[in-house]
Structure 1
Amino acid sequence: MHGRMMFQPLLISNLLDHAARYHGDTAIISKNTDGSISKTDWTHVSENSKRFANALKNLGVQMHDRVATIAWNNHRHLESWYAISGSGFVCHTINPRLFPEQLIFIINDAKDRVVLFDKTFLPLITGVKAHIPQVEHFICLGAFDQDVADALPEVKFYDVLIAENSDQFEWPEFDENTASSLCYTSGTTGNPKGALYSHRSTVLHTYAICLPDSLNLSASDVMLPVVPMFHVNAWGTPYAAAMVGCTVVLPGPGLDGASLVQMIDEYKVTVALGVPTIWQGLLTAAKQAGSVLPSLQRNVVGGSACPPAMMKAFRDLFNCETIHAWGMTEMSPLGTSNQLKAKHRNLSEDEQFKIRLSQGRPPFGVDLRITTEEKGTTEVIRDGHNTGNLQVKGHWIISTYFGKDESALTSDGWFDTGDIASLNEDGYLYLSDRAKDLIKSGGEWISSVELENIAMGHPEIAMAAVIAAKHSKWDERPIVIAIKHKDAQITEEGLLEYFADKVAKWQIPDKAIFVEAIPLSGTGKMLKKDLREKYDSVLL
């Protein structure tokens, strides 16, 4: 016997319809590539999405075709997202910071028929165009621009297409398991791999990230997604913003600390989301500007572990709650977020802070387990101490990579994340390291993340990476590669001494190297592979 309730497929277009109908006049504030500000609202985002859906249809784009976007966080990018997925096409967001060879591989692997791009990325487009012959249409996300037209004669312009097409468009209804968007992994080892999300998985993920125990989003929020829309769909926040109908502030290319401080203060942002390297720049800029970021109630940190010193700075200097979150491209991406339970209210501030340093708990829809070996099925006890291989399963977790036939799962249906971690009795996740970044010294494991957090706690250190260096006796030993704050006087000896009372003596790095910059991936993560290639022999 079935329940006698209506059935409606879970479709991304429903999110935009809801936002337009019930939050139509709520502001969408967008910084353009030229630095100017555009102000629109959910009503006009909906109308322009329908206009662009008509434009794509008139260009001959068919159901399931991939439409690529190479763009910053702005209102045109947002409108195009809903137009693409809402029409039954696949929105393929591309990270413009990838190497050209990887960009070419991704576009060809996805078989993209259309590429949308911001003017910023025109040199990238003209540079790879000869190597992506199956792309039929290039659309610049802006008004007509003679310089763009001269460089790319066949180009079409988004604003022109919008003006030429009607906003009368009925979103098609189709199976909720239809593919909606495509995101590729960062490809730090080998070629990137595609995660193909469905409408169902995306809408369920959207519900989950809005929950109070997740990112706690509501119509009263002013959201600043600093995390790029090309980084796992800005962690799903453009969909969440439509679901709850909140104000959205889109920073465009202005991801430097000073620009972000200005936007937070001017538009009274309540919640902002990004990776630790972004927040480091924001903290520095806010101090320089003398701003206490009065509107900012909470910031979400993901992509890599949040250093404890950064969390304390947001709490103590800006009265801002930091939500530690964790996920992966293969997970849409949310896996866990850190909110306290009722029983934690009676703990001291220091005890609560220790819990806050974990990556948090999974929402309904994600399950976690720790196994004794990679791809294994034997679980480790959940005591917050015993570590093993982190595996996940759930409603928005990958089963098979795009274009591949073999399953991405273990024999009993879990996805192995490649992380080493522990879980405690309440389900709080404590990441030790990526398996490939652990340091094995004399048969004992050392967490690079723990040592990085210590280094980042030094007031004169702006950023730090810890990697394994080859050692003639111990096989591997940790070394720390650090960037000093401006005018810092710290020496190598001073930094190494800073570790002395914080970890066991044998875990203290053997060497500290000060550099001007640490290589970052397109998603703001430190490229430890590059650092290992450069420094892994410094102790020999």
Structure 2
Amino acid sequence: MMDTQLVLNGFVKRVETYFPHKEIVSRTSADKIHRLTYKDFATRTRKLASALEKIGMTKGMKVGSFAWNQHRHLEAYFAVPCTGAVLHMINIRLADEHLEYIINHAQDEILLVDIDLFETIERILPKLTTVKQIVVMSDSDDLPESQFSALYSYEKLLAEAPDDYQFPTDLDENLPAAMCYTSATTGFPKGVVYTHRGLVLHAINLGLVDSFGLSERSVALPVVPMFHVNAWGIPFASVNFGAKLVLPGPNFTSHTLIDLIEEERVTFTAGVPTIWMGVLQELEKTPRDMSSLEMVAAGGSASPPALIQKFTHKFGIPYKTVYGMTETSPIVSVAALTSEMDDWSEEEKIAALSTQGLTVPLIETEIINEDGEVPADGQTMGELRIRGPWISSEYYNDERTIDAYRDGWLYTGDIAVRTPQGNIKITDRTKDLIKSGGEWISSVDLENALMAHDAVFEAAVIAIPHIKWQERPLACVVLQEGYDTSVKDELKTFLATQVAKWWMPDDIVFVREIPKTSVGKFLKAKLRDDMKDYQLTP
């Protein structure tokens, strides 16, 4: 067999050769949408690579991007790694302290910054020890006022770059190509480096029918941010397959997303469940034409069965839950209905789609406890561990590696069961499990049960210390519009039909919102801190 290297450079060449006229739609502001072809994209990407090398980018250098989902960010996704440098996608929603930490820890030397985000970078610049140049991404050549001298206009750099630049042809597939940091709930974020080989294999996997099923015919709208785990690999896969890409840009709303889906005839989209809860609310108020959608992918946290049921049955939109982590590039498993489920009841099918699904090809997963690998009985809990060609093997320059990577496996900290059909079902994080009277209670199952009630918009269940039982569950609920706290007894009665008596929360409290991480996951550590003075009745 030929020993050819799996590197991202081939994606750019493929798309401009076979699909030069396919379109990228990029929203860069509330009233500005760019339309460019893949031929334009390839030309601009090579110009960007040449321009960045001219201002100092070298092989192995870390180049940070601080940007929304837009076409310039997509160009950076390839221009940087295809020269042998490393693109560090920086989470724009992090606190200043964490931004300072990850930019310095990664040792970013060049930053690519969207102009409307520049103020944040300007604010922390005095504490950034490695940054030498900043390229401002904007629809114009204008630069913001700044004390920083090495400031460049993205579009001006491209205009001055030569047309004949070619990517190097000798890159090794095991070279680092990109990196992201986890959205830490405690301590500082942890860095994860992705290789060309891992990203290429992951992108190809997204074309499998039982995965995302992306192809040349797809119109893909990645709602998940491009700074979060490679936007789940969707930009890489879309370019490789020649799919039309729709990039939603800054400060989008549910209404914005619905407009883009309807107007661009989007077939595939992906984001966290909270995004789809908002979209669902809009659709219920004002129905729109969503008939083009062939798949909505949701991950980052559990999708309530009620949400899946409404998408699939009320609006006829296929909805799949997916599972992954920053450490896994990220796709590990996808919930799809297999042939043996064809004759299942609708309730059974929704239950299957509510799991984290079957492990995708090339990845291995095991769920283990003190007795070894758990049986596939849907009940026995254990910690999920993962290995495979796009699973990271360590944290970047971080001693916390020893806590998560052992014996060739990534230990996820997620507690799960395996269904008889082989699906992974996450029941909790190790730190979020509730241990009451020596027995485990799944906060995720309680949350899903609560969110099946029409009055509940969001629900999070946490452990509260208890004198007699060690811990007991407390449910924190955000109500839908039109409901008030008088619904508490009704919720308790409803929940009693769904879960075991000893699982019942000792109380339900109503809150304005559930605190979330920068990528939309429930931030239970913050919720526990908010409720630390809450006293349960013994």
Q: Which TM-score applies when normalising by structure 2?
A: 0.96
Partner secondary structure for residue 169 of structure 1: coil
Instruction: Say if 1:392 and 1:415, in contact at 8 Å, map to a contact too.
Output: yes
Letter of the 1:442 partner, please give it.
G
Within a 5 Å distance, the mapping from 1:53-132 to structure 2 comes to 53-132=49-128
Match in the other structure for 1:470: 465
Please say if 1:43 is aligned against 2:66: no
With 26-35 and 393-402 compared, the bigger mean Cα shift is at 26-35
Match in the other structure for 1:139: 135
**C-alpha separation in 2, matches of 1:409 and 1:272:** 31
Provide Cα deviations, 1:429-461, integer angstroms capped at 9, x if missing partner: 111111111111121111111111112111121
With 348-357 and 70-79 compared, the bigger mean Cα shift is at 348-357
Match in the other structure for 1:183: 180
| Overall identity of the aligned pairs, in % | 38
Match for residue 210 of structure 2 among 209, 213, 236: 213
CA shift, 1:411, in A, is: 4.6
CA shift, 1:407, in A, is: 5.1
Match in the other structure for 2:441: 446
Within a 5 Å distance, the mapping from 1:517-528 to structure 2 comes to 517-528=513-524
Match in the other structure for 1:164: 160
Match for residue 475 of structure 2 among 462, 477, 480: 480
- Alignment RMSD, CA only? 1.7
Instruction: Say if 1:400 and 1:408, in contact at 8 Å, map to a contact too.
Output: no
**C-alpha separation in 2, matches of 1:336 and 1:258:** 30
**C-alpha separation in 2, matches of 1:210 and 1:131:** 42
**C-alpha separation in 1, matches of 2:135 and 2:280:** 37
Letter of the 1:64 partner, please give it.
G
Letter of the 1:135 partner, please give it.
V
Partner secondary structure for residue 139 of structure 1: strand
With 275-284 and 144-153 compared, the bigger mean Cα shift is at 144-153
CA shift, 1:331, in A, is: 0.5
CA shift, 1:6, in A, is: 2.7
Letter of the 2:183 partner, please give it.
S
Letter of the 1:470 partner, please give it.
P
Within a 5 Å distance, the mapping from 1:394-413 to structure 2 comes to 394-404=388-398, 411-413=406-408
CA shift, 1:412, in A, is: 2.8
Provide Cα deviations, 1:286-313, integer angstroms capped at 9, x if missing partner: 2222214121121001000111011011
Partner secondary structure for residue 236 of structure 1: helix
Instruction: Say if 1:326 and 1:337, in contact at 8 Å, map to a contact too.
Output: yes
**C-alpha separation in 2, matches of 1:411 and 1:265:** 47
Match in the other structure for 2:374: 380
**C-alpha separation in 2, matches of 1:244 and 1:123:** 36
Letter of the 1:477 partner, please give it.
R
Instruction: Say if 1:226 and 1:255, in contact at 8 Å, map to a contact too.
Output: no
Please say if 1:329 is aligned against 2:326: yes
CA shift, 1:490, in A, is: 4.8
Match in the other structure for 1:423: 418
**C-alpha separation in 2, matches of 1:409 and 1:133:** 29
Match for residue 52 of structure 1 among 40, 48, 68: 48
**C-alpha separation in 2, matches of 1:443 and 1:79:** 53
**C-alpha separation in 2, matches of 1:256 and 1:58:** 38
Letter of the 2:322 partner, please give it.
A
Letter of the 1:493 partner, please give it.
D
Instruction: Say if 2:174 and 2:196, in contact at 8 Å, map to a contact too.
Output: yes
**C-alpha separation in 1, matches of 2:378 and 2:312:** 25
Partner secondary structure for residue 48 of structure 2: helix
Partner secondary structure for residue 210 of structure 1: coil
**C-alpha separation in 2, matches of 1:99 and 1:490:** 33
Partner secondary structure for residue 161 of structure 1: helix
CA shift, 1:144, in A, is: 4.2
Match in the other structure for 1:414: 409
Paired residues in the alignment total 533
Match in the other structure for 2:385: 391
Provide Cα deviations, 1:341-380, integer angstroms capped at 9, x if missing partner: 222223233322222221111112110111114xxx9222
Letter of the 1:50 partner, please give it.
R
